[in-house]
Structure 1
Amino acid sequence: ADPPTDLAVLKIDDTTNLIAASLGDSTKLAVGEPVVAIGNPGGNRFARSVTTGVVSAINRTLPMNNGPATDLIQTDAAINPGNSGGPLVNYQGLVIGINTVKYADYGFEGMGFAIPISSAIPTIEQLIKYGKAKHPALLVTVNDQYNAYAQYNNLPQGAYIQEVVPDGPAAKAGLKKGDVIIKVNDKTVKNSGDLIRELYRYQVGDQVTVTYLRENKTAEVQVTLGELTTQD
């Protein structure tokens, strides 16, 4: 299992009479495209339930226990406990996502989320090959609370560093609490989701240029990416 992406791989020994689902290309999804969510909401009581909806949005970021999940597909197809791990398919029957969570805050309805299949495949392949997935990281804790201040004062938005892991890649490169990351290489970072999305384009051990604000002054630093660690 891989907690940061909420993905797990199960091995089926007897595949007699089982047909593997065909995978689609989630990078080609369009807002408004019809989709179908399949799963077991409430467990076996409502097994093999099918709900329909559309792609409401793409590239969504959502707070999760292991840090923000990025690049999520938002759909109004009903996703409930038990649907997690089930497929989100298009009208051609191709799997374009893996259902993960329903947003259940007060006043919100019809907001379910799925991991795009094109984002999930690299993690799945690592789990099969190595038994775990390695995710590149700066080993910092970031939040987006700074962005309201930045917008009010006409400053660049970014990922505010709330904590730096001692002896981690960011600490060794000289990044500090209070710095605001605004770029990774040539890609603009406007929030914590952007930061994770850009870091996941690289591998553990890659070197990237991080542009950041410190006391409203811009600076750059070279960082060798470490490996994300999680609490199981």
Structure 2
Amino acid sequence: MSFFDDDFFNTRVTRRSQNRRNRGSGFRPNTLSGSTVRVALISSVSSVLFIVILYLLFMDGKPTQSNAQPAMLSGQTLLEASERMINASDIAGPTVVSVINMTQQALDMEDKQMDWLHSDQVSEYASLGSGVIYKKQDDKAYVITNAHVIQDAVELYLVMNNGERKVANVVGKDTITDLAVLEVEGKDITKVIEIGSSKKLRVGEMVITIGNPLGFSGSVSEGIVSFKDRIIPVSLNQNGFYDWEQIVIQTTAAINQGNSGGAMIDLNGKLVGINSMKIADYGVEGIGFAIPIDDAMPILDSLLANGKVLRPYLGIYSMDLDFYSHSQDTSEWKDDLTDEEIATDDKTSNQALPDLPADVKQGIIVLEAVGPAQEAGLKFNDVIVALDGNPIQSTIELRKYLYSEKKIGESVEITYYRNGKKSTISVKLSEKTEE
């Protein structure tokens, strides 16, 4: 049962019911219609006056105007961003060069009479990369690039922004940070790039990369900073084993083959990173990396002053203990061996297996000791577990500790196991004399 006569209220009524109501009430239709019009008119005027009075009371009679506009919907803002990218590219563009690396193999396969300096051609066997002019001194210009760009180079040429070619010489390179400095004749070079700050970058900030992808010199691409301090494992010897970790800027800006060594700049045209690498895999897009310029500058200064980076040298060739342990799981590939081969392999593995307490699961196996380590008494199959009392679990951790905490000439206390016995030894760190 409802509280009302009808469960649903309907504003529309039939003509029959309307006539019945008119006859029963004694009102004439014309009279009712005129009254309705007057009431509606008075109500409308009253409503308008009421709204005006409220507006004047609350707004104090002063009209307001909003100047706020969504940043990406403002045509003027989009135009300003576009102009900033154009200006930044104009500023930095002339300082970015192409690097042509002629290895001995490439030279052997090419015409020995070819004058690469004055030729408009680029050898199909040459390796291509990019570089950035960052310093000029005493009629010499200095160019930043990646160490891997000039790997195994016999002859190096730079192609300037105006198409001119110059012979380049290697001042120094550092494999660990993948940085190198080249020197060219700089009498006619008038522009060097301005150094910015990678520490001031913000995630989401727009950046620009300039380089020589696939031989297309002076190519410009834009993107954003995806992550500021991404840690990427790298293989210094390119043997598939990670033995270092590189801190890089992750970006969506396109970095392709040939971009390595080129410039990552901000919208002011300042250098904030050196293009280094990308993830090239199926289904991967928009993931490139650059070396932060704040990390690169001390390395570049050392290369310019000394031709190399001075780091403390311990003198061991090593293998991570956990990697060795995993390599002993031969259940997969033993299916392809004969029983005699399996027995021989097991015997060899057991002889090489270090004698360790059961609770020692991580450390570094010494494969060979040379230099300071050999002089101090470290030997094959010693397992290093700590430096100066700090646990060391991998070769990467060992290198990081030495390079960040120790100096050439200082000593480091090494804790290690030999034949199951724990010992300590002091090693005086020296300067490494060769790469």
Alpha-carbon separation, structure 1, partners of 2:417 and 2:204: 40
Q: Is the 8 A contact 1:86 1:98 kept in 2?
A: yes
Indicate how the Cα distance of structure 1 residues 68 and 17 shifts in structure 2: closer, same or farther if over 3 A, else same. Answer: same
1:50 partner amino acid? S
Which residue number in structure 2 is paired with residue 48 of structure 1?
219
1:181 corresponds, among 384, 388, 401, to 384
Structure 1: segments with no counterpart, 5+ residues: none
Deviation of 1:62 (Å): 0.8
Contact 1:35–1:55 under 8 Å retained in 2:
no
User: Alpha-carbon deviation of 1:116?
Assistant: 3.7
Measured on the aligned residues, the alpha-carbon RMSD in Å equals 3.7
Amino acid at match of 1:136: P
In 2: Cα distance, 1:108 partner to 1:6 partner? 23
The CA deviation string for residues 84-108 of structure 1, in whole angstroms up to 9 with x for no partner, is 2223456776644323233547786
Alpha-carbon spacing, 1:121–1:22, altered in 2? closer, same or farther (3 Å): closer
Give the deviation of 1:222 after TM superposition: 1.3
Question: Could you say which residue in structure 2 is the equivalent of 1:58?
Answer: 230
Distance of aligned partners of 1:82 and 1:57 in 2 relative to their CA distance in 1, 3 Å threshold: same
Residues 148, 116 of structure 1: alpha-carbon distance in 2 compared, 3 angstrom cutoff:
farther
Could you tell which deviates more after superposition, 169-178 or 209-218? 209-218
- 2:300 maps to 1:130: no
2:319 to 143, 159, 162: 143
Check whether the contact 1:156–1:182 (CA below 8 A) recurs between aligned residues: no
Distance (whole Å) between structure 1 residues aligned to residue 258 and residue 368 of structure 2: 35
- Give the direction of change, closer, same or farther, for the CA distance of 1:185–1:51 in structure 2 (3 Å limit): farther
From 12, 22, 33, give the equivalent of 2:195.
22
Match among 156, 160, 177 for residue 365 of structure 2: 160
Higher relative contact order (Cα pairs below 8 Å, separated by 6+ residues) = 1
Corresponding residue for residue 195 of structure 1: 398
Structure with larger Rg: 2
Q: Distance in 1 between matches of 2:220 and 2:204?
A: 20
After superposition, the Cα gap between the structure-2 partners of 1:187 and 1:33, relative to the gap in structure 1 and judged at 3 Å, is farther
Give 1:2 deviation, angstroms. 1.7
* Equivalent residues, number: 226
Q: 2:418 corresponds to which residue? A: 214
Structure 1 Cα separation of the partners of residues 400 and 235 of structure 2: 14
Question: SS in structure 1 opposite 2:181?
Answer: coil
Matched residue type, 1:181: I
Structure with a larger share of its residues in strand: 1
Asked whether the 8 Å contact 2:193–2:270 carries over to 1, the reply is no
SS in 2 for 1:127: helix
- Letter of the aligned partner of 2:246 in structure 1? D
